[in-house]
Amino acid sequence: METILTILLVVGGILYKIYENYKEEMEKSRKRMQERMKQMQPPAPTPQPQSMKSAQKQQEAKPIVLRVERKRDEIPPIPVYQSEVREIDEVELAHQQRLARQMKQRQAQQQQQQALALVEEHSNIQGEFDLRRAIIQQAILERPYKD
């Protein structure tokens, strides 16, 4: 009975440590995400003095219009951009790396299987190998004693 209690206490302690480590990792992940969000946000505009603001308003009030005549064929097409930039997170990156490793392993296994098949074909061409007969022939050729 005492051994069961000690085992349960040890297992409970281990589970508690795992839970604490999980909470710490989640907190670290949350902090990383907050830092990424801060980096992605554009910087706040800096306040400008009144004299610069009035100069900008005057420039904005008088737009400059240039007329350029072009043929329609010469106008390059307007590039279409996606409005949302896709961000690959760590989990997706790890998944892609795992898939790449698996593909490499499969290719290596296929190469090994092909090599084994080639060796088997080669051994079938020469005939079956008999280990007992080979040892007897070696003993005959290399006698441990001389007559």
- Number of domain units in the chain: 2
Indicate the DSSP class of residue 141: H
Domain range for 30 is 1-39
- The reply to whether 59 falls in a domain is no
pTM over 0.75: no
- The reply to whether 32 falls in a domain is yes
- The reply to whether 63 falls in a domain is no
Residues of the chain with pLDDT under 70: 42-77, 79-88, 123-128, 146-147
60 Cβ contact partners less than 8 Å away, ≥ 6 residues apart: none
Contact between 129 and 123 (Cβ < 8 Å): yes
- The reply to whether 44 falls in a domain is no
96 Cβ contact partners less than 8 Å away, ≥ 6 residues apart: 88
- The reply to whether 130 falls in a domain is yes
Q: Which two tokens stand for residue 44?
A: 């706040």
CA 146 from centre of chain = 67
The tens digit of pLDDT for each residue in 110-141 reads: 999 998 888 777 765 556 678 898 898 888 88
- The reply to whether 132 falls in a domain is yes
- The reply to whether 19 falls in a domain is yes
- The reply to whether 73 falls in a domain is no
